[in-house]
Structure 1
Amino acid sequence: MKRIVLFLATNLAVVLVVSLVLNLLGVGRAVTGEGINVGALAVFSLVVGFTGSIISLLMSKPMAKWSTGARVIEQPTNSTERWLVDTVRRLSERAGIGMPEVAVYDGEPNAFATGAFKNSALVAVSTGLLANMNQDEVEAVIGHEVAHIANGDMVTLTLIQGVVNTFVVFLARVVGFFVDKVLFRSEDRGPGIGYMITVFVCEILFGILASIIVAWFSRQREFRADAGSARLLGSSVPMQHALARLGGLVPGALPSSMAASGISGSGGGWGALFSTHPPMEQRIAALQALRQGA
């Protein structure tokens, strides 16, 4: 639950901060006492909506290394590191992507892939994953992360986040204009305190709804990456075993900005709406159905 709250807060903070900065610079004056300049507001909303998402994507690799302490394997120093590099290379060739950087970081069982481009991505696994899973299971997890890269999931989620952020910014200002005009403005002047308060509240409320949409797309990409691992390995059984093993372990926490990047993570109750990953039982069932349909 803590990670879900941090994930929501991070996305909302980006939208609010970028919006505030542009308003202070005078860029966001698309709403006046006379009405709404739809074209100017649309451009403003696009800039605010996509700026944070694109910057996060471009900085994802260095930020992931820094925030997790991941150590990139330049030259394998032992048999485990050699096996990791060879496995990533083999699965990447099957997936038709360039060789990603391979890294290991200290922590409980987890793994992630990140990067703005398919041919220069990063695949990292935790020491806890290596210690608690056998090679077949780790290979399946690596296949899952390679499938994320091959599917372009990092870019797709960035675009989706940018689109929903754009709608959040646009709709919040439209609602703010009408609320301010009806309830607070007695003369034809520029938007006042009612407009600013309404926009702030709407950005939070619409941002929460937007996060539900983004989380749904994130859960769908997890199903696709599981299936992608099964295709790369030629069988869904290793991925099923890996997910079953992960379901019995406490997943390693990743920074809130990387909540969608890990191999596992789900929330119960209302938190499931904001979860970036489906429950393990659903993922295993989807793989079983894939196997039966093959």
Structure 2
Amino acid sequence: MVRITLFILTNLSIVFFLKLILIIIGIKINSIYMVTVFLFSFIGALISLIMSKWITLKYINGKIIKIPNNEKENFLINVIKKQANITKIKTPTMVIYNSSEINAFATGINRNSSIIALSTKLLNSMKYEEIEAVIAHEISHISNGDMITMTLLQGIMNTIVFFLSNIVSQILLATILQNKEESKNNKYLYFVISFIMELTFGLIASIIVMWFSRKREFYADAGSAKIVGKNKMLSVLYKMKEEQNNNIINNKLISTFLIYGKSKSFFNLFVTHPSIDKRIKALKNNLYY
């Protein structure tokens, strides 16, 4: 609730601040439009957050583990309950889904309504102590409130993108046509300029959101180390590095690139995770604790 309250206050601050700037520089934007932008960004972010569990389960076709059917499932249930108690959150729902990639993630509207999904490749490739560290990593994401923070940050970025693209589009249109009356009537040119501006500012906003996404991985690694021990989490990272190298050798470049990118590449600004080498170095040096 605190995060949502801060989200509302931050968005309102942005709206009023930009409105003040517009008044100072003499650009008129309908107040109804400003309120609509705010509501669109806020409600859109919340809807995506509320539906995240349902959408995820449908997309991955995951199997919810409530009653364990074998030794490994029993191990998973016991680990997730134990770690939830340690971090003082409600036990997340455990989900297993079929995948040929080592992967795990957490999602949900808050700390007490979340799921942790593990791929079959991960469960078949990792030792029990490594799986324990992976779950601890996801538990740390949940206890840190990363899912809701990520969603709310995206909502704030959406608000800024909408406003700035509108303002800059008006200024550019008036500059190009050099006639206020003519610029008001040229809707097609405005649409083109506005579209380009939204793409440009949206790109910048994505860089900010992805920067936060990469940052939170360091804290989740450190959180896992606190729960199960540093060596177990390091073992996971080394195994992930080995898998990444195998993907490159087997030309599975797309999936690897989308998560980790390439070192010293501009596109590294748009990846969701820092490089495994950086994560290993941070964990070894006791950073982000």
TM-score relative to the length of structure 1: 0.79
Cα-to-partner distance string for 1:169-192 (whole Å, 9 max, x where unaligned): 100000111112222363526352
- 1:118 corresponds to 2:118: no
In 2, the alpha carbon distance for the partners of 1:90 and 1:110 equals 22
In 1, the alpha carbon distance for the partners of 2:241 and 2:259 equals 10
Which amino acid in the other structure matches residue 91 of structure 2? M
1:129 maps to: 122
- 1:287 corresponds to 2:283: yes
In 1, the alpha carbon distance for the partners of 2:62 and 2:242 equals 24
Cα distance, 1:36 vs. partner? 1.8
1:226 maps to: 221
Higher helix share: 2
Which amino acid in the other structure matches residue 219 of structure 2? R
Which portions of structure 1, spanning 4 or more consecutive aligned residues, are displaced by more than 6 angstroms?
Answer: none
In 2, the alpha carbon distance for the partners of 1:229 and 1:136 equals 12
Cα distance, 1:81 vs. partner? 0.6
Contact kept? 1:184, 1:194, Cα under 8 Å? no
Of the three residues 272, 278, 290, the one matched with 2:274 is 278
Of the three residues 123, 141, 148, the one matched with 2:141 is 148
- 1:101 corresponds to 2:96: no
In 1, the alpha carbon distance for the partners of 2:231 and 2:207 equals 31
5 Å-filtered alignment, 1:105-254, equals 105-107=97-99, 108-184=101-177, 186-188=179-181, 190=184, 192-233=187-228, 235-250=229-244
In 1, the alpha carbon distance for the partners of 2:232 and 2:180 equals 69
Which amino acid in the other structure matches residue 229 of structure 1? S
Secondary structure at the counterpart of residue 109 of structure 1 = coil
- 1:92 corresponds to 2:101: no
Contact kept? 1:48, 1:169, Cα under 8 Å? no
In 2, the alpha carbon distance for the partners of 1:219 and 1:79 equals 34
RMSD of aligned Cα (Å): 2.3
Structure 1: runs of 5 or more not aligned: 1-29, 254-263
Cα distance, 1:46 vs. partner? 1.9
2:34 maps to: 42
In 2, the alpha carbon distance for the partners of 1:250 and 1:125 equals 17
In 2, the alpha carbon distance for the partners of 1:38 and 1:277 equals 40
In 1, the alpha carbon distance for the partners of 2:284 and 2:151 equals 30
TM-score relative to the length of structure 2: 0.80
Which amino acid in the other structure matches residue 279 of structure 1? S
In 2, the alpha carbon distance for the partners of 1:160 and 1:217 equals 9
| Higher relative contact order, structure no. (Cα contacts within 8 Å, ≥ 6 residues apart) | 1
1:61 maps to: 53
Work out the percentage of aligned pairs sharing the same amino acid: 37
Cα-to-partner distance string for 1:10-49 (whole Å, 9 max, x where unaligned): xxxxxxxxxxxxxxxxxxxx9xxx9423644432332333
Cα-to-partner distance string for 1:219-255 (whole Å, 9 max, x where unaligned): 110001111111111x21110110110111159x9xx
Cα distance, 1:161 vs. partner? 0.6
Secondary structure at the counterpart of residue 181 of structure 2 = coil
Contact kept? 1:72, 1:104, Cα under 8 Å? yes
Cα distance, 1:164 vs. partner? 1.0
In 2, the alpha carbon distance for the partners of 1:232 and 1:209 equals 36
Secondary structure at the counterpart of residue 117 of structure 2 = strand
In 1, the alpha carbon distance for the partners of 2:44 and 2:145 equals 19
Q: How many residues align?
A: 249
